[in-house]
Structure 1
Amino acid sequence: MWSAHHRKTAVLGWLVFVVLATVIGGATGTVTASDEEMGVGDSGRAAEILKDAGIDEPAGELVLVGARTADGWRDAAADLSQALDATGEVRGLKAPLPSEDGKDALLRFEIKGASDEAVDRVQPVLDAVAKARADGEARGISVYQFGDASSEKELSDLLADDLKKAEFTAVPLALGILLIAFGAVVAALLPVGLALTACVAAFGLLSLASHQLHLFETTYSVMFLMGLAVGVDYCLFYLRRERDERAAGRDAETALRIAAATSGRAVLVSGLTVMVAMAGMFLSGLLLFKGFAVATILVVCVAMLGSVTVLPALLAWLGDRIDAGRIPFLNRRAKKGAHASGGLAGKVLRPVLARPKFFAVGATVLLLALAAPALGMKTEQLGLEKQFGSDAPLSVAYQEITDEFPGGPAPARVVVEADDIGAQPVRDALDALTRKAGDGAELTVHEAAGVAEIAVPLPGTGTDAEAKKALHELRDDTVPAAFDGLDVEAYVGGDLASSEDFGDQLGKGIVPVFAFITAVTFLLMLFSFRSVVIAVTSIALNLLSVGAAYGVMTAVFQHGWGAELIGSEKVGAVENWMPLFVLVVLFGLSMDYHVFVVSRIRESRDRGMDNRSAIHEGIMRTAGAVTGAAVIMVAVFAVFGTLSMQDMQQMGVGLGVAVLLDATVVRMILLPSLMTLLGERNWHTPRYLRWLPKTAHEDAEPTARPHASNTPVQSVR
């Protein structure tokens, strides 16, 4: 109410905060995490040794030149080599390496300068290769390029395009849904505007935070996804309650007080639950998840604070002008939805409350059936060739190079550190290991740094079962045996080793993260509702939603069932960080609906209604808001499901399906049927918990009646 009574201060204060956060964040810039920082396990240790020794792994590039006949590539390869030299950005260009059938040759070189600057320097090389490709088409010459700098540039450009696409698609989509829900332009613009300003401010704050905790490239996409969905939802809950109270005859101030005491409180509880759940990602031990945690906590915190400060100020200032810009047809529908006891919701709810056992079992079986494919879920760190899609030029190039020169694009790297790397026993061991690794293995010794590294080609595609078997054999048997008895440290790194170590760390981290978020969710729900039953059922319902999301993700992306319907394809696995991320995010987001719905049920229960009537009243009164919020959130997630990157698609589909199921099957069927079966046990507070403070859920005194006068209700809890 302070915000409502100090409108100008609240609004200007919010705008100053957003501008300052944006300007300061933009001035300081964003620090992204290096590959060494992202590493864990033996591969992370190998990267650290090279970094500490001042050894910068150069950005290597491979170009395959193919012809229809043996040696037909020679002239094209010679011309391309000259063109590459002429760019001034290439070093270490080696003589063409012919394939076994002699119809293809591989050009190998590095980009000049530091590896972290290679992305900015690779464009002339890409242009030279593109020209060679265009010139060779008429002569039956094919040219393919894949490497560290070229793939990183493609990834950066694609991420930028995808984020721009998401921004320009998700925002108008959310605005259109709100126009249908409210039937008025101002009422629709308010949540979107507040969510966008919250995202902008959070972007600035995240840039500041990145100087202490370096970020992954997709962190800003995740922040925008969460910020827009949560920001709009929080405002929608608040605004919908205020409009409902005005429609019921309350005066402006009373309606605002009731909205603050009910929906505002639900926003605070759900927002805090999301933030604390996100904090669980710090227990994963992975920098990627720590960045996600900071980003989501910041944007949820800013959105939550905005919805309970500047939003009441704007509502108090606008008054009846909140309905300005009415769209006649849509406005009539919006009013009807506000007053109706819930058209579709009522039709669904009546049989559910009449036969709760049947519907509880049916909904549970449906969710478990959707979750079933998750039992066979496989996870891996999807390589760039899988991220872009099999038809993408980069993926085609990777496959062509791998087919002709197995292990070329992604060799394992054995890093050895010793006090005297030049000692004869150590050099003999290095030479012997290089010979044993076979053709294509390369030994590089940095005597001044006391470090050596061996590039070991892996069989197969570099990520399949054959390559994984070879990697484990190299790590567990070959390398330990080669340096047995020598005073050296030897670790195996490389892309596949990094993926395996990342997956192992995820397996170790998921248990403490899961334990943390379930415990926190339980305690927060227990504190809010003073009911062990409500707290336990909250966790159980969330787990069912998460399980169903896992099952759908596995079916679509691992098995390819229906993947073409969303413009995706089967990749044989789920991105290895996705299950943990979806688990944490959904545990947080599900609280939006759960707290909002259960609070309204408890509010009716505290007015003296019996359990069944309170459930009916609470579900009916929240059906419109929950439906609108879910549609917006699903729409935003669906936008990410249509982006180019495979991990963005998986995130969008997983979260979208889970929210859709959560708002329909769980909230409209499973929750009311389960609460009906549990009866008065829902609201029982055990003797040992009666010390918990009682939090009121009522909007007003039980005897208060809606009225049309301007006299405010004096007693508002």
Structure 2
Amino acid sequence: MFDRLAELAIRRSRLILIVAVVAVALMGAVGSGAFTKLKGGGFDDPGSESTRATKVIEDKFGGETNLILLVRADKGRIDAPAAQGDGRALVADLKKEKHLDNVVSYWDTKSPTLRSEDGREAMVLAHVKGDATQLEKNTTSVIDDYSGPHEGGLSVRAGGGAAVNSDMSTQVVDDLLLAELIAIPLTLVLLLFVFGSVVAALLPLAIAIFAIAGSFAQLSILGSITDVSNTATNLTTALGLGLAIDYALLMISRFREQLTAGASVDDAVRKTVHTAGRTVAFSAATVAAALAALLVFPQYFLRSFGYAGVGVVAIAALGTMFVMPALLKALGHRVNSGKLPWPKTGRADGRTPLWGRLARTVMRRPVLTAVPVLAVLLVAASPLLGITFGTPDERVLPDDAQSRQVSATLRENFDGNDDAALHIVINQSVDKAPLASYATKLAGLDGVTRVETSAGTYADGKDPAGGPGNAALSRADAQRINVVSDLEPKSDAAQSLVKDVRTLAPPAGSDPLVGGIDAELVDSKDSISGLLPVAIGLVVLTTFLLLFLFTGSVVQPLRALVLNMLSLGATLGVMTWIFQDGHLSGLLGFTAQPMELAMTVLMFCIAFGLSMDYEVFVTSRIKELHDQGADNETAVTNGLGHTGRIVSAAACLLAVSFLAFGTAKLSFMQMFGLGSGLAILIDAVAVRGVLVPAAMRLLGRSAWYAPGFLRTFHNRYGLSEGGPELAAVPTAEPEPTAESPFVRH
């Protein structure tokens, strides 16, 4: 297959380039509408109890409160005659809004729970209508029309779940633009430094443009078919840019190496496609396999990254395997044009002495060099022992976000937190007496301040008429109950309350559904943790199979999996130390909170896939030399000598794409960017530079072991480097006089 790709590039290079230009234009046109089709949210399991409760409330009660307008009297109290008149006028206008349902205010009910303790502010509760896409648009419209100062001395701020999601969606776009403004210039500078040639440095950007245009096109198409998270734009852009540059870097380096060895342009293209092209194909397959595991989760936040991630990997690989060989054929020796003045860091045959010497040093003293690295990684992973998980709320936003300020005010100045109330719905009629008994028991649970029902308002496990019954909570075929607590939302105590409510005996013959943000968190954790072993199992299995087909060994995949888990554990541990424990919060400007569950799973899959990306880069060259008859020492030393600089350069370039998101104002995007970037650097330096050669030395001959029947299978179905040899296999660099201690085979 790779030989045919090479011949196609050689014979039809101009046609391929014309088709590529047209494809980029078409993909750009299609992708221009991507942002209008993507959605916020997506963190909830659509089959969970909390989601089903939301659906029943939506169908029979007009929906849960998802928008809270906090109205403040600029002078005096909110009960003053002028403020009351202006407040009622504001509420009357809100009730006319076509996007709103269930508008309830302090001035309608006179409920003290809707008025602040200092009497200066009052709440207006409402439900914004629409699906995930319409909801964001409708929320933005209402907020734009009503927030801010009003005539008569009132000012309005917007909060609640819909407002938080709206602020998140807006911030995602801003964060993406800023990250790209940082990443792209830095990437260009690094490319110039790595290649030392203007033309060679610009070629990876051509593949990156192809990959990013394709990424947005696929997001636009996917957004028309299924739910896709708007945060997917961050992943696809960073991953598309990074992988396109990684793969192009590998291809260009191999092509230039062949030209330096004396091969003709055509032969250099053939060898490059046959070797580096094969590596790109397997690398893309391993990254795609890791991201495909996200499809097992029901939350569309994770599933959309699975769809989009696999797509962008495929687009980057296809661009590299088809477009890059055609560019190399068209340019030929001009690929080295525009040479820059800084000195070369490698030898004429493409090897980098530093990496070769490092590999040789490690292989001579594998235990002495590997143990300190292992110790550092294990210490870095130790914060995982105390890791806790949560879901995004207003705290992921910057301090000046309006919806976050409203949530803080609700917690500090109001009796109970209506925004974090549990919503119980019984999908049938319930008589007043059993409903009152059930509400009384609910009111007696730890942390509950009041329970609102159609039969009355209950507190402290008693049955006082603390407030009149709310007729809006009753339907002929359904009952709704609001449980308001003074517990910190999403805290352990709040999650325990959800479980207590669910285990409490309901009215006879009924089956209550419990919803609300704390119930959603409990359900999300149960859903993801229940499927996480399946996802990890799929990642491990597919990675093992791919690496076996790639190497013909059962030991190499196991070695790769163990080392990758070490680097990932260290990365996740550092992120826990920073974002959960709060270290560096002042510097990075975030609020410490439990690790965002879905984003942690996403970061694991992406970092695992990218670690395997560099695994394939390094192992490919080692195996190539091993298959050509080199002994273990020579194969590893020269293999790292050839690929070490490529891997370190590729890691720096890809890490820049992710680390740029450290400038994000959404804390979970900061975690994702910094964590992914750190994982890449740890893997490229500590794992590939030290642990891989140490493991290869300790494994010796057994590193390439496979049972006889699997070796037969691999010989028939696996891929090998059995193509034309167009450049001589380099010999090992001169050794010291001491006899080599390595096992030769």
Structure 1 residue 317 corresponds to structure 2 residue 345: no
- Going from structure 1 to structure 2, the CA distance change for 1:43 and 1:407 (only over 3 Å counts) comes to same
What residue in structure 2 maps to residue 46 of structure 1? 53
Structure 1 residue 224 corresponds to structure 2 residue 237: yes
Q: What are the superposed Cα offsets for residues 623-651 of structure 1, whole Å, 9 maximum, x if unpaired? A: 11101100011111101122111111111
What residue in structure 1 maps to residue 121 of structure 2? 105
- Going from structure 1 to structure 2, the CA distance change for 1:92 and 1:600 (only over 3 Å counts) comes to same
User: How far 1:260 moved relative to its partner?
Assistant: 0.9
Alignment of 1:115-194 (within 5 A): 116-117=134-135, 119-120=137-138, 122-123=140-141, 125-126=143-144, 128-131=146-149, 145-194=158-207
Provide the rounded CA distance (Å) in 2 between the counterparts of 1:622 and 1:221: 29
- TM-score, with structure 1 as normaliser: 0.88
What residue in structure 1 maps to residue 459 of structure 2? none
- Going from structure 1 to structure 2, the CA distance change for 1:425 and 1:24 (only over 3 Å counts) comes to farther
What residue in structure 2 maps to residue 297 of structure 1? 310
Provide the rounded CA distance (Å) in 2 between the counterparts of 1:646 and 1:133: 36
- Is residue 222–residue 228 contact of structure 2 (8 Å, CA) maintained in 1? no
- Is residue 279–residue 297 contact of structure 1 (8 Å, CA) maintained in 2? yes
Structure 1 residue 482 corresponds to structure 2 residue 492: no
Provide the rounded CA distance (Å) in 1 between the counterparts of 2:700 and 2:649: 29
Alignment of 1:9-88 (within 5 A): 9-24=15-30, 30=37, 32=39, 38-51=45-58, 53=60, 55-57=62-64, 59-63=66-70, 65=72, 79=86, 82=89
Structure 1 residue 400 corresponds to structure 2 residue 400: no
What residue in structure 2 maps to residue 333 of structure 1? 344
What residue in structure 2 maps to residue 463 of structure 1? 490
Structure 1 residue 697 corresponds to structure 2 residue 709: no
Matched AA of 2:617:
F
What residue in structure 1 maps to residue 672 of structure 2? 651
User: How far 1:168 moved relative to its partner?
Assistant: 2.3
Given candidates 417, 420, 427, the residue that maps to 1:410 is 420
Provide the rounded CA distance (Å) in 2 between the counterparts of 1:130 and 1:55: 27
What residue in structure 1 maps to residue 706 of structure 2? 685
Matched AA of 1:505:
S
Q: What's the secondary structure of 2:427's corresponding residue?
A: strand
Matched AA of 2:209:
L
Structure 1 residue 94 corresponds to structure 2 residue 106: yes
Provide the rounded CA distance (Å) in 1 between the counterparts of 2:431 and 2:632: 81
Provide the rounded CA distance (Å) in 1 between the counterparts of 2:683 and 2:628: 27
Given candidates 587, 592, 608, the residue that maps to 2:629 is 608
What residue in structure 2 maps to residue 712 of structure 1? none
User: How far 1:347 moved relative to its partner?
Assistant: 4.8
Q: What are the superposed Cα offsets for residues 212-231 of structure 1, whole Å, 9 maximum, x if unpaired? A: 33112212222222211111
- Going from structure 1 to structure 2, the CA distance change for 1:386 and 1:431 (only over 3 Å counts) comes to closer
Q: What's the secondary structure of 2:534's corresponding residue?
A: helix
Provide the rounded CA distance (Å) in 2 between the counterparts of 1:521 and 1:36: 27
- Is residue 219–residue 228 contact of structure 2 (8 Å, CA) maintained in 1? no
Q: What are the superposed Cα offsets for residues 75-134 of structure 1, whole Å, 9 maximum, x if unpaired? A: 667656645656764744432765575344322232676574464455565565422699
Alignment of 1:429-448 (within 5 A): 439=450, 441=452, 443=454
- Going from structure 1 to structure 2, the CA distance change for 1:303 and 1:146 (only over 3 Å counts) comes to same
Provide the rounded CA distance (Å) in 1 between the counterparts of 2:81 and 2:688: 67
- Going from structure 1 to structure 2, the CA distance change for 1:318 and 1:343 (only over 3 Å counts) comes to same
Provide the rounded CA distance (Å) in 2 between the counterparts of 1:415 and 1:36: 21
Q: What's the secondary structure of 2:485's corresponding residue?
A: coil
Uncovered stretches (5+) of structure 1, i.e. residues with no partner: 137-141, 707-717
Alignment of 1:560-575 (within 5 A): 560-565=582-587, 567-575=588-596
Q: What are the superposed Cα offsets for residues 573-622 of structure 1, whole Å, 9 maximum, x if unpaired? A: 11011332122212211121111111111112222221011111000111
Provide the rounded CA distance (Å) in 1 between the counterparts of 2:232 and 2:42: 15
Matched AA of 1:233:
D
- Going from structure 1 to structure 2, the CA distance change for 1:456 and 1:391 (only over 3 Å counts) comes to same
- Is residue 262–residue 697 contact of structure 1 (8 Å, CA) maintained in 2? yes
Provide the rounded CA distance (Å) in 2 between the counterparts of 1:232 and 1:476: 54
Given candidates 3, 7, 11, the residue that maps to 1:5 is 11
User: How far 1:345 moved relative to its partner?
Assistant: 2.4
Matched AA of 1:399:
A
Alignment of 1:353-392 (within 5 A): 353-383=363-393, 385-390=394-399, 392=401
Provide the rounded CA distance (Å) in 2 between the counterparts of 1:93 and 1:631: 55
- Is residue 37–residue 224 contact of structure 2 (8 Å, CA) maintained in 1? yes
User: How far 1:318 moved relative to its partner?
Assistant: 1.5
Q: What are the superposed Cα offsets for residues 253-278 of structure 1, whole Å, 9 maximum, x if unpaired? A: 12111111111101100111111222
What residue in structure 2 maps to residue 641 of structure 1? 662
- Is residue 549–residue 654 contact of structure 1 (8 Å, CA) maintained in 2? yes
Q: What are the superposed Cα offsets for residues 181-223 of structure 1, whole Å, 9 maximum, x if unpaired? A: 1122222222122122212123222322233331122122222
User: How far 1:329 moved relative to its partner?
Assistant: 1.8
- Going from structure 1 to structure 2, the CA distance change for 1:398 and 1:121 (only over 3 Å counts) comes to closer
Provide the rounded CA distance (Å) in 2 between the counterparts of 1:548 and 1:645: 23
What residue in structure 1 maps to residue 735 of structure 2? none
User: How far 1:666 moved relative to its partner?
Assistant: 0.2
What residue in structure 2 maps to residue 260 of structure 1? 273
Provide the rounded CA distance (Å) in 1 between the counterparts of 2:55 and 2:556: 48
User: How far 1:520 moved relative to its partner?
Assistant: 1.0
- Going from structure 1 to structure 2, the CA distance change for 1:33 and 1:563 (only over 3 Å counts) comes to closer
Q: What's the secondary structure of 2:420's corresponding residue?
A: coil
Matched AA of 1:518:
V
Aligned residues: CA RMSD: 3.2
Q: What's the secondary structure of 2:369's corresponding residue?
A: helix
- Is residue 434–residue 442 contact of structure 1 (8 Å, CA) maintained in 2? no
- Is residue 581–residue 593 contact of structure 2 (8 Å, CA) maintained in 1? yes
Provide the rounded CA distance (Å) in 2 between the counterparts of 1:458 and 1:666: 49
Given candidates 557, 564, 576, the residue that maps to 2:579 is 557
Q: What's the secondary structure of 1:691's corresponding residue?
A: helix
Q: What's the secondary structure of 1:577's corresponding residue?
A: helix
Uncovered stretches (5+) of structure 2, i.e. residues with no partner: 1-5, 455-470, 731-745
Provide the rounded CA distance (Å) in 2 between the counterparts of 1:12 and 1:66: 65
Q: What's the secondary structure of 1:174's corresponding residue?
A: helix
Q: What's the secondary structure of 1:215's corresponding residue?
A: coil
- TM-score, with structure 2 as normaliser: 0.85
Provide the rounded CA distance (Å) in 1 between the counterparts of 2:152 and 2:276: 62
User: How far 1:26 moved relative to its partner?
Assistant: 5.3
> Percent identity, aligned pairs only?
28
- Is residue 119–residue 149 contact of structure 1 (8 Å, CA) maintained in 2? no
- Is residue 38–residue 288 contact of structure 1 (8 Å, CA) maintained in 2? no
- Going from structure 1 to structure 2, the CA distance change for 1:307 and 1:703 (only over 3 Å counts) comes to closer
